[in-house]
Amino acid sequence: MLHEKSHSHAREHAFSFLNGRAREGLAVFSRRSMLKASLAGLAGLTLPGLLQARGEAVKSGKPVRGNKSVILLWMAGGPSHIDTWDLKPDMPSEIRGPFSAIPTKLPGVRICEYLPKCAAMLDKFTLIRSVDCRESNHQPNMVMQTANLEAEPRTNPKGDQYPAIASIVAKLRGANHPGLPPYVALNVKDKTHFAWGGYLGKAYDPFVGDNVSKIFQLPRGLTMERLQTRKTLSQQMDRLRSDLDLSGSMVAMDRFSQQAFDIVAGQRAQNAFDLSKEPVKLVERYGNHDWSRQALLARRLVEAGVSFVTIDLSNHSSSGTWDTHGDNIPPYGGIWSGLRPLLPVFDHLITTLVGDLKERGLLDDTLVVAMGEFGRTPKIGTQGSTDGRDHWPVVMSMVMAGGGFRHGQVIGATERDGGAIKERPITPGDIAATIYHHMGVPLDATYLDHQGRPRYIVNEGSPIREMV
C-alpha cells in the first residue's frame, strides 16, 4: 500500500527525512545510518541542483565556460549615500552631515573623508549615485537582491518567493567547479538579510558558510579513507534513492550521487573554507576584523570555484548595522557614532579585496558589488534624533569593481540636497541585467512559479551601458 509522504520536514532540512542522527535497530552506528548522516551534511551545499544544471548544460552542448563570479558586499540596513559616496558639502549642516569631502583619483569627484583608500583607487571602481530603490525595504531584504519590485514580503504575501539573483545564477549557470556550491552566504547575522531560492526551490538557497564545520563533520568512527574504500557505496545509494522525495525540494540523485560523494570525500571545498591555507602576510594584510576575514574567505571561494558569494556586512541581526537612525534609537547609532566607525573597516576590506583579486589575475572574472537596500533621508535628525537619518527608498549610491567592465567613472547624479535622482536612474533590473551579462546568463531566461507560469529573470532592465 502506498502512503503519501509528508513534506513538512523538508522546510527544516532537505535530507531530514533520512533521520541521519537516528540509531537503527540495536546498532550504535550502522553503515546505513553513517551514510545517511553524511548525506544530511551535504544538504546545505545545494549540490543536486548544481550538478543537474551542469549536467543539462553539457547535454545540451552548452557547457559552462570560464570562471566568472560575483562577490556582493551587502551593507544591510541601508548606508547613507549623503555621508559616503554623494556628499553635499555646500548644503546646510542638517543636510551635509558631519563628514568632510576629499578628492579622489577621478578629477572633480569627491567622497567621504573616511574612505581614503577608496578615494585613492576610485579609478578601479564605478560609482553609481542614481540607483532607484523605490519599493525596497529591509527585514526581509529582497528587492535589491532579487531585482523584483514585488519582492517585498511586508506588503506582498508572496514577496519571499522571488529568487535571489544569486539563486538564478546557481540554477542557470551553476558553480565554476562541481566540487563547490554555486551560491554561498557568509557572516549570516539574520537569514532575512538575504534573498533565497524562492520559486526555484530549496536546492538554490545559499550554502551558509558559517555552518561549514558542521557540514564537513563525519559521524564518529567514519573516516574519508573508509568511505573511499567502500565497494558497496553505489548499492547503498541505490537503496536510499527509493526514499527520496522527488516532488518536493529534493532533486533526483541518480546521475549525481557519485559526484556528491566526491565532495564529501574530496578536499576542494574543505580547503576553500580553510583560511589557514593563506600566507600569514596576506592574512595580516586583510586584517583581524571579521568582515575583512570574510572578504578573504570570499576570495578563496571564488578562486576555488564558487560563482556567487554574498557577505552580510553586519555586526548584529535586527535590520542591519548600516541602519543609522540615531544614538537615541539603539542598537543603530547615528551618523557620527554609528556610521563613522564602519567606514574605515569597509574602506580597508573592499580596497584590499579588489587589490588582491587584481594581483591574482582574478579581477576581470570577478565582479565586486557593494550596496544596501536604500539610501537615507536628506535631512539629518529624523525620528526625534539629532544625529541620525531615516530610510530613504528614493535614491541610493553603490559601487562596482572588476568583472572586466569599464570603470573609473561616476554614473548618475542626485538633486542638490541628495533627495532625488537628477539624471540617469539605474533600476534594480539594470543591476541584475549587468550581473547576468557578466555571468553569461541569458537575459530572456525564465523560471516557473508555483502555478507553473513562466517569469522573466529580468523585469524592465538592461546591462548598464556605460560599463559593458
Determine the average pLDDT of the residues in 315-343: 92
49 in any annotated domain: yes
The pLDDT value recorded for residue 112 is 98
Do 176 and 193 lie in a common domain? Answer: yes
234 and 198 in a common domain: no
Domain membership of residue 6 (yes or no) is no
Q: Do residues 178 and 288 both lie within one domain?
A: yes
Taking the model in full, what pTM does it have? Answer: 0.81
Nearest in space to 293 (alpha carbons), one of 302, 284, 306, 305: 284
Lookup: cell for 164:
535571489
Residue 183 maps to a domain:
yes
In tens, the pLDDT along 251-261 reads: 434 434 455 55
pLDDT, average across residues 379-400: 94
Same domain for 162 and 235: no
Average pLDDT taken over every residue of the chain: 82
Residue 162 has pLDDT above 90, yes or no: yes
The answer to whether residue 117 is domain-embedded is yes
- Using pLDDT thresholds of 50, 70 and 90, give the confidence band for residue 283: very high
Residue environment code for 130-150, b if the CB has 16+ CB neighbours within 10 A, otherwise e: bbbbebbbbbbbbbbbbbbbe
Residues 39 and 153 in one domain: no
> Is 434 found in the same domain as 289?
yes
What pLDDT is recorded for position 36?
A: 41
Classify residue 321: in a domain, yes or no. Answer: yes
Domain hosting 374: range is: 70-212+278-456
pLDDT tens sequence across 226-278: 555 554 454 454 444 444 444 333 443 443 445 555 555 558 888 999 999 99
Domain co-membership, 259 together with 294: no
- Asked whether residue 49 falls in the same domain as residue 102, the answer is no
Q: What is the pLDDT of residue 226?
A: 58
Task: Give the model's pLDDT for residue 303.
Answer: 97
In the chain, how many domains are there? 2
Residues 200 and 229 in one domain: no
Q: Does 152 share its domain with 262?
A: no
Residue ending a domain, among 229, 244, 272, is 272
139 assigned to some structural domain: yes
| Domain stop point among 272, 289, 314 | 272
Same domain, 140 and 162: yes
Bridge-based pairing of strands 391-392 and 421-423 is unpaired
Q: Which of 238, 272, 306 is the last residue of a domain?
A: 272
